[in-house]
């Protein structure tokens, strides 16, 4: 019970939206698909916004409303209660947590890149640092943030709010200034810039890269553990989801149009995924006669944004794994909390498996290859995680009398179930297709090597989930025999 006079602090819905926004998409996320699909990615983004992003965000809002009060485990709590299955809850928690690990490593990589641009002023990091030392510094950053998470109160909300608004502001600035350069004699770099250029080539390569777009717009459910810290989550959570959906649509569609002004989508730099954002603001600054000023401003914003992402992912994923899992699936030591009431051993496990990914990435030839592989790995694991979310949504709509909701996404039950089924099937197909390496020629030695790494890493990340129930079983046997 709270002591008399103690005032409980709440998180407002705009802050929740910013926490969600920094976990979902940033300026970098519109560069990766541009390199993979060219100008036709605009068509894909518009399709994704209407047929996946909006249904996804509002499904999260619906589930958040249904399970208000059972949010500590996030998505794992939803599947556990909607399917009435402890096993489903555990495997959702594990797969969700494991799916976030490649991105945690990727964000730490991006943090290093942002500081390299601030210090060096160019994209020469790949030629100055070996993949080994890149991995070492990535691991150090993850360790530092794990310590900060447990020492500095409210660090997450502060960084997420500053980073989220700053990144959205930089994106608006980029779009507006792009329009200004066109009105003042600037030319479009991508040619031909006509309707035909926006029509995708529906090839195997096209479908193998769509999972990365899905990854770019996912993550809203990561804010669910914070719903209990909102004053009126039933009313305000959906407002946060609407704001996230709007910001995502603006960033993806208009941001891609703007990038095509500065980059030839048919002849992009080989390191676009790692350095493209900085090249973009460098080019914009040159056209406006500002030199590298905009690039340095963006590098500062990017550094804050990436650190906010790292803070959010490290914190929220640890709660997903340890908060609402049946005892028979998780040993006691894994549920142990420190003096700040944080699941400390979840952080230890996170550290161990991120080190495993870094060791695998050490077999790749250079930093650019490491960066691209870890990024592409997200296009596999995140869509698999989405399948659980839509399965939970389908379950609550099938049994909607048992699971009433203040906010209802699609009032007609059959239509809602059909929408959920479509999104789940789409997620599964994107995940399977994304196993195919995206940045290499089919059948080459490098392509085969990355295909092997994809299967090995996903197999270990997801398969390691079978270890915890076994450890819990031995723990109980030991207690019973004592």
pLDDT score for 31: 82
User: Which tens digits make up the pLDDT trace of 261-274?
Assistant: 888 888 888 888 88
What are the C-alpha distances in Å from 477 to residues 86, 384, 470, 473, 474? 20, 33, 11, 6, 5
Looking at per-residue pLDDT, the higher value among 8 and 438 belongs to 438
| Chain centroid to CA 362 | 23
Least confident of 330-334, 387-391, 434-438: 330-334
pLDDT score for 160: 66
* Nearest CA-CA partner of 128 in 404, 366, 332, 402: 366
* Nearest CA-CA partner of 254 in 4, 36, 24, 41: 41
Angle, vertex CA 309, rays to CA 440 and CA 60, nearest 5? 95
* Nearest CA-CA partner of 358 in 161, 105, 116, 22: 105
Residue 260: strand, helix, or coil: helix
What are the C-alpha distances in Å from 353 to residues 179, 314, 468? 45, 13, 14
* E strand segments, 120-220: none
pLDDT score for 1: 40
- Average pLDDT over the chain, rounded to whole? 83
What is the average per-residue pLDDT within 113-135? 90
User: Which tens digits make up the pLDDT trace of 380-420?
Assistant: 999 998 999 999 999 999 998 899 887 788 889 999 999 99
Exposure string over 7-20, b if 16+ CB within 10 A, otherwise e: eeeebebbbbbbbb
Whole-number Å distance between alpha carbons of 92 and 388: 6
Share of residues in the chain with pLDDT > 70 (%): 89
User: Which tens digits make up the pLDDT trace of 333-367?
Assistant: 777 777 766 677 777 788 888 889 988 988 888 88
Q: Is the peptide bond before 192 cis (omega within 30 degrees of 0)?
A: yes
Q: How many Cα atoms are found within 13 Å in the side-chain-facing hemisphere of 171?
A: 26
Measured over all CA atoms, what is the biggest interatomic distance in the chain, rounded to whole angstroms?
82
Whole-number Å distance between alpha carbons of 241 and 317: 19
User: Which tens digits make up the pLDDT trace of 225-273?
Assistant: 666 677 777 778 778 878 888 888 888 888 888 888 888 888 888 888 8
Angle, vertex CA 200, rays to CA 195 and CA 204, nearest 5? 165
pLDDT score for 424: 96
5 pLDDT higher than 50 = no
**Is the entire prediction scored with pTM above 0.75?**
yes
106 pLDDT higher than 70 = yes
What is the average per-residue pLDDT within 295-300? 91
Least confident of 12-16, 328-332, 468-472: 328-332
| Banded pLDDT at 3 (limits 50, 70, 90) | very low
Least confident of 7-16, 29-38, 80-89, 313-322: 313-322
CATH number of this structure's domain 13-481, picked from the four choices 2.40.50.100, 1.20.1740.10, 3.40.50.720, 3.20.20.70: 1.20.1740.10
Residue spans of the domains in the chain: they are: 13-481
């Amino acid at each position: 019970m709270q002591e008399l006079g103690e005032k409980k602090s709440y998180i407002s819905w705009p802050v929740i939206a910013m926490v969600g926004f920094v976990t979902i998409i940033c300026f970098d996320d519109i560069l990766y698909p541009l390199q993979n699909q060219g100008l036709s990615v605009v068509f894909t983004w518009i399709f994704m916004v209407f047929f996946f992003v909006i249904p996804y965000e509002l499904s999260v809002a619906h589930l958040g409303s249904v399970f208000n009060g059972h949010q500590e485990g996030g998505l794992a709590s939803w599947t556990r209660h909607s399917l009435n299955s402890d096993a489903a809850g555990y495997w959702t928690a594990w797969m969700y947590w494991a799916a976030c690990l490649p991105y945690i490593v990727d964000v730490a990589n991006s943090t290093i890149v942002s500081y390299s641009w601030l210090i060096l002023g160019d994209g020469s990091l790949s030629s100055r640092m070996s993949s080994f030392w890149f991995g070492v510094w990535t691991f150090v950053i993850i360790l530092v943030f794990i310590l900060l998470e447990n020492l500095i109160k409210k660090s997450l909300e502060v960084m997420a709010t500053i980073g989220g608004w700053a990144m959205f502001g930089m994106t608006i600035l980029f779009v507006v200034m792009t329009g200004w350069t066109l009105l003042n004699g600037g030319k479009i770099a991508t040619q031909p810039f006509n309707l035909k250029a926006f029509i995708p080539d529906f090839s195997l390569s096209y479908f193998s890269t769509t999972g990365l777009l899905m990854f770019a717009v996912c993550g809203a459910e990561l804010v669910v553990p914070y719903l209990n810290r909102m004053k009126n989550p039933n009313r305000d959570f959906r407002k946060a989801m609407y704001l996230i959906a709007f910001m995502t649509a603006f960033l993806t569609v208009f941001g891609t149009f703007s990038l095509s002004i500065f980059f030839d989508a048919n002849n992009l730099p080989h390191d676009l995924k790692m350095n493209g954002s900085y090249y973009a603001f460098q080019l914009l600054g040159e056209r406006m006669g500002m030199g590298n000023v905009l690039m340095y401003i963006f590098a500062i914003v990017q550094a804050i944004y990436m650190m906010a992402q790292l803070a959010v992912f490290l914190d929220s994923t640890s709660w997903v794994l340890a908060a609402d899992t049946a005892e028979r699936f998780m040993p006691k030591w894994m549920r142990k909390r420190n003096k700040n009431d944080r699941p400390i051993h979840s952080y230890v496990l996170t550290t161990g498996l991120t080190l495993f990914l870094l060791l695998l990435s050490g077999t790749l030839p250079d930093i650019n290859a490491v960066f691209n592989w870890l990024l592409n790995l997200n296009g596999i694991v995140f869509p698999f995680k989405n399948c659980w979310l839509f399965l939970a949504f389908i379950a609550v709509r099938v049994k909607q009398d048992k699971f009433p909701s203040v906010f209802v996404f699609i009032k007609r039950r059959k239509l809602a179930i059909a929408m959920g089924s479509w999104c789940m099937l789409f997620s599964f197909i994107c995940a399977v297709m994304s196993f195919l390496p995206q940045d290499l020629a089919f059948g080459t030695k490098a392509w085969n090597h990355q295909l092997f790494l994809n299967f090995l890493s996903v197999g270990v990340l997801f398969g390691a989930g079978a270890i915890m129930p076994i450890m819990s079983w031995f723990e109980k046997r030991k207690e019973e025999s004592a």
